[in-house]
Amino acid sequence: MIHEDIICRVLDEAARYGADFAELYVEDTHTNTISMTDLRVEDANYVRKRGAGVRVAIGIVQSYAYTADLSEDGLLSCVRAACAALPKADAASTQAARALRTYGMQEKQHFSTITNDARVALVRDMCASAKAYSNQIVQTGGSYIDVTSHVFVANNFGLRAYDVRPRTRVSVQAIASDGTSTQTGSQSPGFGMGFEAYENFDAASFGASAAKTAVTMLEAPECPAGVVPVVIGNGFGGVIFHEACAHALEATSVARGASVFADKMGQQIASTCVTAIDDGTMAGEWGSIGMDDEGMPTRRNVLIENGILKGYLVDTINGRRMNASATGSARRQGYDYAPTSRMTNTFIAPGTDDRDEMIATMGEGLYAKKMGGGSVNPMTGEFNFAVLEGYWVRDGKIVHPVRGATLIGKGADVLMKIDRVGQDFAMGQGMCGSSSGSLPVNVGQPTIRVQDMIVGGKGGNV
């Protein structure tokens, strides 16, 4: 993307200002999006984003500047702007460039070869299936996105690395109404590959699943409230671990002591049946990347093993604060963001328990089959999550669906109260926002059971 002579001059300029760490990040991203309402295309866009960011640091003090001007003058102006924010220091040194390391995958069907008709057909099939599910479905919506990012990273320690990152995702939403109230269901599968992701894709089943959730919840009574056992479904149920627990394992918070898990390495922080992992190397997954945004290869990071805290997600600068090595976990939305430690594909690993047994032995409680959004206090891990599709259990049997359920708790407490971990592992796709922007991530888990949780609802007390 940038000639080596220019790269060296940019990094040497940072060293002249005294930076003991200097990094050049170059991005060229192509994005196609389509949105649809009730089988009508509302919008279709193609966007290209191209630019560079320069990060410089002395010790743990860092500065970042970015530009869309990739000329030599533009990049030198950018590095000087970043260096101007650093404390004064003696000139540092740079190392000779090492061989370029390349990552990424070669798409079987590159997005540039795909027509908009093919993209629209995918979304229309999902929406049509949702609409046909029931006459109570009053509106459908859908979207499609494909992204190809070309990323290059160079630093003053000689690193040169290049990654190609294709990904694509479709989404369908179904709204059901009985004339007095409405309920919504959705599905949003995503993949870290080219358009070949849809070779065996069953669009109709995803549309019907979204509609089924909406109609089921429309006919359901309000959920009771109380402290009861909760079984949380597989796949996107992992959003609770992601939001309420795994963010507190990122060096972004750990290095500053702003995490409930700081200084707990080697201690038990979860039930012994819980093992949790972040793995950016999983082929074809929505959250996977070949290298992180500091040019390090991604890897499988075991965070919790049999309940014991084994590791954090660490980037270079926060690693300096913690006296810890980077773990291939530095990520950013684009060249206009400095990187920090972030998740990729984060999940509770499969166990040996059976979902039906979990329900049969739970007594009275809630089966939260599908989770929705929520809010989390990152300092404490306290959370409040909506249940998109839930069922009330009495005497170990599912008796009826319930709507309006919320799960309330504290991440550290929930980890200790998990007493069953199933075998039916699945992933769910999402976008995670933090200080370095919005990023594609997978959340995942098998079905799990929590001994007791606060369940909120308007259906009266248990």
pLDDT digits 0-9 by tens, 269-283: 999 999 999 999 999
| Integer Cα distance of 202 and 208 in angstroms | 10
| Domains by residue range for the chain, with CATH | 4-218 (3.30.2290.10), 226-456 (no CATH)
Residue (of 174, 187, 186, 180) closest to 135 by Cα position: 174
pTM of the model: 0.96
- Reading the block at residue 340, the tokens are 């920090």
Torsion of CA 420, 425, 426, 431, to 10 degrees: 60
**What integer pLDDT is reported at residue 2 of this predicted model?**
94
Looking at residue 425, what is its pLDDT?
98
How far apart are alpha carbons 403 and 176 in whole angstroms? 13
State the alpha helices, DSSP H only, in 105-200. Answer: 116-133
Residue count (the chain): 462
pLDDT for the residue numbered 427: 97
Q: How far apart are CA 443 and CA 287, in angstroms?
A: 9
Going by C-alpha positions, the residue among 279, 252, 297, 247 that lies closest to residue 412 is 247
Amino acid at site 67 = T
Confidence (pLDDT) at 22: 98
Ranges in the chain, pLDDT < 50: none
